[in-house]
Structure 1
Amino acid sequence: MMKKGETYIIGEIGQNHNGSVDIAKLIVELVARPVHEDVFGLDLKPMNAVKMTRRDLDEELTPTQMNRIYDNANSFGHTYGEHRAFLELDDDAHFEVYKYAKEKGLDFVETLCAKKCLSMLKLFTPDYLKVASRDLTNLPLLAAMAETRIPMILSTGMAGKKELDDAIEVITHYHNEISILHCVSQYPTHPDNLNLNTITYLRKNYGQYHIGFSDHTIGISAPSIAVGMGAEIIEKHITIDRHMKGTDQPGSLGPDGVNRMVRDIRMVERWLGTEDLYIDKCVSAAKEKLERSIATNKQLYAGDVIKEEDLHMLSPGDGFKWAQKDEVVGKVVAMDIPKNEIIYPKMLK
């Protein structure tokens, strides 16, 4: 479950399992892999959860659409209905993947696309129920999901404020365990359309809920930036091989991309730190070596009275700072000080 200060990262399988439980398990294994940062020797927490999607094909599309010819390189059937049926894993298969995810220490998130899909909850209870962007306005489905009182995650990919508010109103009749993900339902999302500042808007206007980002851009930069902007949840499509057959495969992250994205997000968590300005103890050595101190710009002799024009600044930084020059100017030199040497207290009377 979500923890304060830790980004909740969801690896979305979607249909990238290509109708195979074994492939789904391989993706689960990828999600659970440890992440290591080499330079500082850091073992970083991997993804937190894996997500699958369950459809009821009787409530998916009209017969006309389901029976249309679907003849392309990514098709798994002659018609679109046959294609969708090939990719659909049944309740028992979802349960098998759920158990495998739990063995790997992962949470399990389930997107349910129809009320009949709630039948799988007789087999297991996901940690979260996800509402797909297209179903944010499917208020009867939202009510049925909310009635389970399982925490819910909403994607706003096709929604404005009214659609989101309507959805929240329905869900909060049952519970307030809601997360909201900024999302743009364009695959892949064009850079000009991403509008990550929506995350800031959601945090200001819906701050009582967890706010996150469901990413459909190409690459790994947007999730890290989103975390820097305050996103608590990141969702990203993943696959074991971006060259496998399937429409979502090219826009998903493969093993290397998953490793790099999670590494970067976990590093951002560390980078953010606290809202303060201070001298960290880790810079003390560099500060002493590189910062400048008051030094002589000519030879000074014992008994000389130091004038400001006798001084300039040199490294190292273990002497007087310019802000302390009143502790130097006007003082009597206790011993000879060569040109271009740092002035220390013991050198003054």
Structure 2
Amino acid sequence: MAMTERIRKPPTRMPRWTVWTKKRRMKGWPVDSKVVNEFHADRFQKEKMRRTKRMRMVRRKSLMTKRMKMKTKMEKGKRTKMKSVGRRKNLDMMEKLMTMKMMRMRMRMKECGADCAKFQKSELEYKFNRKALARPYTSKHSWGRTYGEHKRHLEFSHDQYKELQSYAQEVGIFFTASGMDEMAVEFLHELNVPFFKVGSGDTNNFPYLEKTAKKGRPMVISSGMQSMDTMKQVYQIVKPLNPNFCFLQCTSAYPLQPEDVNLRVISEYQKLFPDIPIGYSGHETGIAISVAAVALGAKVLERHITLDKTWKGSDHSASLEPGELAELVRSVRLVERALGSPTKQLLPCEMACNEKLGKSVVAKVKIPEGTILTLDMLTVKVGEPKGYPPEDIFSLVGKKVLVTVEEDDTILEESVENHGKKVKS
């Protein structure tokens, strides 16, 4: 196949002046040298003016940028200030809502039949050291980045406690709190609470116990996380200073599993400390175990309550909602009535059943007048009329009958010589 060779043509060269002139004409610029000089001078002047104007614009823009930055900083400061004020307002609103929520809860407690509403009071700097308050707290139940922030969010102020106490008086329910440190106890003492609650975390805090006992108010002492030896020491410390106190069997877990409740400790406390009341502080779900504690003799019953178990917080799931609390109170009152008296006797309510089904001693055979009774002459049946009760059958043996007793007749009191009918008591 034949190949055609491309032939390159040499470039057409034009004189430099011609090229320059052609370009200027294409742009519409002058070609004459005199006019060109004037044109360039005018162009240079215009370019200088444009540059000056551009520089002014740059400076103006720079100045505007600086002003904008300053304005932004000022606005940011205003926003920060407004944000902090808004946060304070939000916190105030949250505090009011929490107080209202607690008031609502106290009212529900009263409606459910509870005797006392108990809170927890802490003065955080006296309960925790600085490192404990500063430690990170990343739990799903946390209300702050550190444990201190978390606790401060939850802690009520002194004024709020006074407000809650006043409201409790209005609705007619006792108001108190667990003093979680010595300063908290001082505050509660000033509030004139009816009794001090000692939380499980302070039960082995012997200096705290001594100072609290010396206040002279009744004490309710929980025993979670403690051993029996520790509880014996607590008894020996508190008893000489303040005899008006009680122990609560408690296991510190939320929620508490049934196998860790150990209700038998209540009976053991009753044996070891017979001169003080024994109670139960429960963290389990439901009410059955608490009712069982009352049946075992618990004189004080403490349970956590909530308006909603799904709320944020580690103990809401182990708390009772108002309906459950009402059912617990009804069940406890029922058990208290059912415990009754330790005296065993025939009760008036049993008389109808005794008349209908109570048995008597009857003649197994015909017994002639003057016969000395033997056991094989007697048997026990539901008889009419009522005669000697079955428990008297052995005492009838050897007695003489005064009248003839037909077979299957009841042995009556007047039928037997010198034998009075026993009355059940």
Q: TM-score normalised to the size of structure 2?
A: 0.62
Bigger relative contact order, structure 1 or 2 (CA pairs below 8 A, ≥6 apart) = 1
TM-superposition CA deviations, 1:80-131 (whole Å, max 9, x none): 3222211111111111111222222222221111222235247511111111
* Residues 133, 149 of structure 2: 8 Å contact kept: no
Structure with the largest fraction of helix: 2
1:158 aligns with 2:236: no
Q: Quote the residue 2:260 is aligned against.
A: 193
C-alpha distance in structure 2 between counterparts of 1:23 and 1:230, whole Å:
33
Q: Quote the residue 2:105 is aligned against.
A: 27
> Of 145, 155, 160, which aligns to 1:78?
145
1:105 aligns with 2:183: no
Aligned residue for 1:20, secondary structure, equals helix
> Of 330, 336, 351, which aligns to 1:284?
351
C-alpha distance in structure 2 between counterparts of 1:269 and 1:312, whole Å:
37
Alignment of 1:318-337 (within 5 A): 318=386, 332=404
Q: Quote the residue 2:202 is aligned against.
A: 135
* Residues 29, 104 of structure 1: 8 Å contact kept: yes
Task: Please list every run of at least 4 consecutive aligned residues from structure 1 whose deviation after the TM superposition is greater than 4 angstroms.
Answer: 292-297, 308-312, 314-327, 329-334, 341-345
Deviation at 1:173, TM superposition (A): 5.8
1:239 aligns with 2:306: yes
Q: Quote the residue 1:262 is aligned against.
A: 329
5+ residue gaps, structure 1, are 1-16, 35-45, 301-307
C-alpha distance in structure 1 between counterparts of 2:308 and 2:409, whole Å:
61
* Residues 123, 183 of structure 2: 8 Å contact kept: yes
C-alpha distance in structure 2 between counterparts of 1:150 and 1:273, whole Å:
30
1:63 aligns with 2:141: no
Deviation at 1:284, TM superposition (A): 1.2
Amino acid at match of 2:128: E
Amino acid at match of 1:28: R
C-alpha distance in structure 1 between counterparts of 2:385 and 2:151, whole Å:
69
C-alpha distance in structure 2 between counterparts of 1:182 and 1:312, whole Å:
50
* Residues 254, 314 of structure 2: 8 Å contact kept: no
C-alpha distance in structure 1 between counterparts of 2:151 and 2:132, whole Å:
14
Q: How many aligned residue pairs are there?
A: 313
Percent of pairs with identical residues: 26
Larger radius of gyration: 2
* Residues 306, 319 of structure 2: 8 Å contact kept: yes
Q: What is the CA RMSD across the aligned residues, in angstroms?
A: 3.7
C-alpha distance in structure 2 between counterparts of 1:208 and 1:155, whole Å:
17
* Residues 386, 410 of structure 2: 8 Å contact kept: no
> Of 217, 225, 246, which aligns to 2:292?
225
* Residues 179, 188 of structure 2: 8 Å contact kept: no
